[in-house]
Amino acid sequence: MTEPRKSTNFVRQIIDEDLAAGKNGGRVVTRFPPEPNGYLHIGHAKSICLNFGIARDYGGRCHLRFDDTNPSKESPEYVRSIQEDVRWLGFDWGEHLYHAADYFDRLYEWAEKLIRDGKAYVDEQSADDIRETRGTLTAGGSESPHRNRPPAENLDLFRRMRAGEFPDGSRVLRAKIDMASPNINLRDPVMYRIRRESHHRTSDRWCLYPMYDWAHGQSDALEGITHSICTLEFEVHRPLYDWFLDQLGFAPDARPRQIEFARLNLTYTVMSKRLLNALVQEQRVEGWDDPRMPTLAGLRRRGYTPESIREFADRIGVAKADSTVDVALLEDCLRDDLNPKCRRMTCVHRPLRVVIENYAEGKVEEIETPFFPDDPGREGMGFRKVPFSRELFIERDDFVEVPPKKFTRLSPGKEVRLRKAYVLKCIGVVKDEKTGEPTELRCTVDLDAGFDSPKDGRKIGNAIHWVSAAESVPVTLRLYDRLFTVPHPGAGGQDFRTVLNPASLEVVEGARAEPAVGELRPGERCQFERRGFYYVDPKDSAPGKLVLHRIVPLRDSWAKIAKGQ
């Protein structure tokens, strides 16, 4: 079970008040009600942490209910992925797995009751006509010519709709409420439409499917949900849910209390399943679990931990007003979680060969190096032996032939510290004849000083990382950046496709890592010094072939990337 939440919020305060007032016999029952029409994203994680977290902390329970009223967009793949993602986040619905489809019979009977009571009617207008006669935000709608059909006729038509006598889209059932209502949701909303679609639960049993608004409130009520927590856009639907429950005879104190909160928006991210689905269908990413996607499957594949996402949900809190959270906060939660967990290792991303002329051929020194240099005694984490030899790889970027002022790394005639090892001096550069690019550096090390500071106190450049050429293991790196180039993709009617970041994935083949990296198993994480946190991709790695995702750069390297340094 996940750790209890540290902070409170207005939803919890409402629940505290309800408990203090003795409501619901002291029970707290929440639910997370996804529509299985896509994979869950980080916005859903906010709702999951809120609903399951409340159930956990109040000794209640949280149902997982699929609001599966629209078979044309839903699929068993989505149902499976949603369950996997909720579990991965660390939550458990126990035996309380439900589907709106479980209530199709019940909802149908209730619809007949509304018809008999003169509260619902079959409309034969086209979908366009219904939309056009619904009115606007400022003007009321106009009544359908079929609105005042007698109940017996409506009942007969509704039963024939169910029996499959009418083509798709030819008739709907509408609630008979008030076409002049200032709330557009109360202007005779559609309750049922005809759709010959196979459903993942009920197969071909129905050709008539309930609308979400007709199914949702009753599903909550049937399950005995005490607090129905949803996002702000449902506030204007609440009067409709109440109207339905009133007609069906649910007493005001025997129905869920709906509480609305602001949905999560993140900078540099699109969140709606519709847009994420477009990214997948148009193959702008490699699938729902592409590590650049804000889906839970994508974040997991990238290497995010569930702990970091729960911490993020806790830090952003729950409020009543819409806002956009800086994605940097999510990245900070991730670093804070990974920092104490991930062993430090070395990986040279773009190798440049270094030959140390004054170091004996065939000689190898094994340098004992702690996995946590700041905390070397850390239990169970220990040391590894890092080989040092005559031929090394360093980062191509750590060498500059004609260095700018204040450059503190390697250049001809200059010295740098090799991390945990010798002082290295560059005495020659071998270049590619055609391109002029350096292909190898000829160097010496200060054997007298050894791993200590030179006795004469001369100035040495910064410490750079390195690996021994012969013992290093080749790895493939996937360096991810934000999927969009602007903080608010799609804002102001802009097409989010036009602001996709063309550099959101850089694949680096032929990186060289120290031998300990070769021991990492799929799904393990580490920190590469001076670079960031990395994750061994379980999908594409194989024995002898490691593919690592950069989960997130180190905090200061990110700042450097942002400044273009």
Contact set with ligand ATP (CB under 6 A): 33-35, 43-44, 46-47, 230-231, 263-264, 271-273
Nearer to ligand ATP, 32 or 466 (CB): 32
**Which of ligand ATP, Mg ion, none has residue 63 at its interface (CB below 5 to 8 Å by kind)?**
none
**Which of Mg ion, ligand ATP, none has residue 263 at its interface (CB below 5 to 8 Å by kind)?**
ligand ATP
Local structure of residue 331 (DSSP, 8 states): H
Q: How far is the CB of 288 from ligand ATP (least distance, A)?
A: 13
Which residue in the shown chain puts its C-beta closest to Mg ion? 35
Nearer to ligand ATP, 211 or 386 (CB): 211
Q: How far is the CB of 8 from ligand ATP (least distance, A)?
A: 18
**Which of ligand ATP, Mg ion, none has residue 44 at its interface (CB below 5 to 8 Å by kind)?**
ligand ATP
Q: How far is the CB of 99 from ligand ATP (least distance, A)?
A: 13
Q: Which stretch binds Mg ion (CB under 5 A): 27-35, 128-136, 214-222, 295-303?
A: 27-35
Nearer to Mg ion, 263 or 353 (CB): 263
Check if the beta carbon of residue 461 is closer than 8 Å to that of residue 410.
yes
User: Between 331 and 370, how does the x/- string for binding to Mg ion read (CB under 5 A)?
Assistant: ----------------------------------------
Residue 341, both tokens: 């967990």
- DSSP three-state, residue 147: coil
419 φψ region: left (φ > 0), alpha (ψ -120 to 50), beta (else): beta
Q: Which residues, 29 to 48, sit near Mg ion by CB under 5 A?
A: 35
Q: How far is the CB of 511 from Mg ion (least distance, A)?
A: 42
Nearer to Mg ion, 35 or 331 (CB): 35
**Which of ligand ATP, Mg ion, none has residue 264 at its interface (CB below 5 to 8 Å by kind)?**
ligand ATP
| CA dist 488 → 274, 325, 496 (Å) | 17, 11, 9
**Which of ligand ATP, Mg ion, none has residue 231 at its interface (CB below 5 to 8 Å by kind)?**
ligand ATP
Contacts 24+ apart (CB under 8 A), 486-492: 486/268, 487/267, 487/268, 487/324, 488/267, 488/324, 489/268, 489/269, 489/270, 490/270, 490/275
Q: How far is CA 445 from the centre of its chain?
A: 47
Q: How far is the CB of 57 from ligand ATP (least distance, A)?
A: 19
Residue 233 φ/ψ, nearest 5 degrees: -65, -15
Total binding residues for Mg ion by CB under 5 A? 1
**Which of ligand ATP, Mg ion, none has residue 43 at its interface (CB below 5 to 8 Å by kind)?**
ligand ATP
Q: Which residue has the tokens 């169910």?
A: 162
Nearer to Mg ion, 213 or 223 (CB): 213
Instruction: Report the C-alpha gap between 455 and 451 in whole angstroms.
Output: 11
Nearer to ligand ATP, 294 or 461 (CB): 294
Nearer to ligand ATP, 42 or 426 (CB): 42
420 φψ region: left (φ > 0), alpha (ψ -120 to 50), beta (else): left
**Which of ligand ATP, Mg ion, none has residue 546 at its interface (CB below 5 to 8 Å by kind)?**
none
Which residues lie closer than 8 Å to 432 by C-beta, 6 or more apart? 438, 439
Active site (catalytic) residues: 35, 263, 273
Which residue in the shown chain puts its C-beta closest to ligand ATP? 43
Max Cα-Cα span within the chain: 104
Q: Which residues, 399 to 428, sit near Mg ion by CB under 5 A?
A: none
Check if the beta carbon of residue 442 is closer than 8 Å to that of residue 412.
no
E strands, 244-380, in order: 257-261, 264-266, 323-325, 344-345, 347-348, 351-356, 365-370
Q: Which residue has the tokens 């009418």?
A: 166
Instruction: Report the C-alpha gap between 163 and 514 in whole angstroms.
Output: 69
Q: How far is the CB of 274 from ligand ATP (least distance, A)?
A: 6
Instruction: Report the C-alpha gap between 183 and 233 in whole angstroms.
Output: 13
Q: Which residue has the tokens 């001369």?
A: 458
Strand partners, 230: 260
Q: How far is the CB of 66 from Mg ion (least distance, A)?
A: 12
Nearer to ligand ATP, 271 or 297 (CB): 271
What is the edge-to-edge ordering of all strands in the sheet holding 29-32?
29-32, 61-66, 97-99
Q: How far is the CB of 88 from ligand ATP (least distance, A)?
A: 16
Site residues, Mg ion (CB under 5 A): 35
